Amino acid sequence: MAETAIPHSQPWIAQDELQAVADVLRSGRLAQGPCADRFERGLAAFIGRRGGVAVTSGTVALELALRALQIGPGDEVILPSYVCAAPWLAIQHVGAQARLVDIDPDTFNIDPQHVRKAVTGKTRAIIVPHLFGLPADLTELQAIGVPLIEDCAQTLGALERGRQAGSVGTLTVCSFYATKLLCTGEGGMVLSDDEALLERVRALRRYDEDPSLDPTASNYKMTDLQAAIGLCQLHRLPTFLSRRRDIAAAYDRALIGRRGVLPQVPAGRTHVYYRFVIRLAETSPSDEVVPAFIARLERAGVHCRRPVFRPLHGYLKMDGYPNSELVYQCAVSIPLYPSLTDEAVAHILTVLREELG
C-alpha cells in the first residue's frame, strides 16, 4: 500500500499562476478584461483559428455554439452515445433533438459510418468530441457535409492528417475545468474562423449593450482571474503535452502484450493522452468488471476511474449502441497527468503488471 494514494487527476499549478492571479487582484480589474482578450487570442493561435470567445464553462460553450448556428426546436443534432452528458444537455437547452450514434470501440470516438446513417433532412450539426486526447476521423466526418462542432474539451495539440484538432469544424469548443489539459478551475471557449459566428457568441455572453435584447443572451463571461491562470497554463501547454506523451510511452512499453487493450492511434493521427484508457480483456463483460478492478487498484494506492461516468444511451435507457456499451463495461482510465512523478509512474506500473499478467 502506497503511503499516499495516487489521485486519478491533478492540476499542475506553479508560481506563475499564483503571481498572475495576484497581479489581477492588485490591478482592481477582476471581471472580464485584458487577460481574457489575450487568452482568447493565444488559444485561437495555438489551435489555428481566427478567434475565440471565453465563457464560463465547456457546457455553456457548446450551447452558445449551437445558438450561433441558430439551431433550435425542429432541428436535429448528432452526437456519440459514449460521452459525458454536457453535449446532450446543450442540445436540450436550445430545444433541438439529440440523435445518438455508436462509436468505434478501438478509438472511443464517434463512428462516421453510423453518423452517415443518422443524417436526415433536419440534421443541422454534428458534435464531435475528440475523446481522451485522440482526434476523431475529421476527414470522414467533414465529407458528410453537415457543420461540425468540434468538442476539444479533452484534446488540444493533437493532429489529424497534419491538421490540429479544433481547426477543422465550423465551430470548436474547449473546457478548462479543473481536470482538463489546460485548467482555469471552471471555464470554456468557443472558437471559429467565422467572425459573424464569433460575434453572435459574444452577443449571447452578455446581457446588455445589444440592441436586439435577445432573450437567450445571459451572463456567460469568464473573469480575468481565470483567464490569467489560463494564459499561464497555455504557455506551459507544450511542456504538459510532452510529459503526457512520455508517460504514455512508458505505460505502452511496460504493458504491451499483457491482458487488456492499450490506447490505439490510427495512422495519420497523434494522441495527447488526456486520459490513458485501457480496455480490460473480458470474455463476459458486465457492469461489475470495472468497479471491481478500480476497487483492487484503490487498495494498492492507485485511483482509477471510469472515463465516462455513464454513456448517454444508458441514462436514456436506449438500446442499439453495442460498441458504447462494450467500452463502458471494459474501459478504465489510469492516472496520467504532467505532475505525476517518475516514482508514481513506477508504482502504477508495478500494480498494473500484477493486474494485467
Ligand X SMILES: *Cc1c(COP(=O)(O)O)cnc(C)c1O
Applying CB under 6 A, the span of 25-33, 147-155, 234-242, 349-357 interacting with ligand X comes to 147-155
- Give least dist CB 356 to ligand X, A: 26
Alpha-carbon distance of 75 to 93, in angstroms, equals 13
Residue 194: CA count within 13 A, CB half-sphere? 15
Applying CB under 6 A, the span of 148-156, 229-237, 283-291, 333-341 interacting with ligand X comes to 148-156
| Residues contacting ligand X: total by CB under 6 A | 14
The answer to the question of residue 81 lying near ligand X (CB under 6 A) is no
Applying CB under 6 A, the span of 19-27, 54-62, 94-102, 240-248 interacting with ligand X comes to 54-62
Output the CA–CA distances (angstroms, integers) from residue 84 to 160, 189, 307, in the order listed.
23, 18, 9
Output the CA–CA distances (angstroms, integers) from residue 296 to 194, 233, 330, 332, in the order listed.
49, 34, 15, 12
Alpha-carbon distance of 65 to 182, in angstroms, equals 20
Contacts of 52 (CB under 8 A, 6+ apart): 39, 40, 41, 43, 44, 189, 190, 191, 198
Alpha-carbon distance of 177 to 10, in angstroms, equals 11
Side chain identity at residue 98, one-letter code: A
Taking each helix axis from N to C terminus, what angle separates 342-356 and 289-299, rounded to the nearest 10 degrees? Answer: 130
Determine contact, residues 55/220, Cβ cutoff 8 Å.
yes
Contacts of 243 (CB under 8 A, 6+ apart): 338
The answer to the question of residue 107 lying near ligand X (CB under 6 A) is no
Determine contact, residues 54/189, Cβ cutoff 8 Å.
yes
Alpha-carbon distance of 65 to 77, in angstroms, equals 12
Of 168, 166, 165, which Cα lies nearest the Cα of 144? 168
Cβ-closest residue to ligand X?
58
- Give least dist CB 287 to ligand X, A: 22
The answer to the question of residue 153 lying near ligand X (CB under 6 A) is yes
Alpha-carbon distance of 261 to 106, in angstroms, equals 9
Applying CB under 6 A, the span of 27-35, 51-59, 278-286, 332-340 interacting with ligand X comes to 51-59
- Give least dist CB 309 to ligand X, A: 11
Applying CB under 6 A, the span of 55-63, 206-214, 224-232, 287-295 interacting with ligand X comes to 55-63
The answer to the question of residue 311 lying near ligand X (CB under 6 A) is no
The answer to the question of residue 58 lying near ligand X (CB under 6 A) is yes
- Give least dist CB 85 to ligand X, A: 9
Applying CB under 6 A, the span of 73-81, 84-92, 197-205, 328-336 interacting with ligand X comes to 84-92
The answer to the question of residue 83 lying near ligand X (CB under 6 A) is yes
Nearer to ligand X, 331 or 344 (CB): 331
User: For the window 165-204, what string marks contact with ligand X as x by the rule CB under 6 A?
Assistant: ----------x-x----------x----------------
Nearer to ligand X, 174 or 198 (CB): 174
- Give least dist CB 274 to ligand X, A: 8
Residue showing cell 453510423: 114
- Give least dist CB 29 to ligand X, A: 24
Angle at 156 between CA 150 and CA 158, to 5 degrees: 95
Among 105, 129, 135, 169, binds ligand X (CB under 6 A): 129
Nearer to ligand X, 16 or 186 (CB): 186
Alpha-carbon distance of 126 to 137, in angstroms, equals 13
Among 47, 55, 86, 232, binds ligand X (CB under 6 A): 86
Residues that bind ligand X (CB under 6 A): 57-59, 83-84, 86-87, 129, 151, 153-154, 175, 177, 188
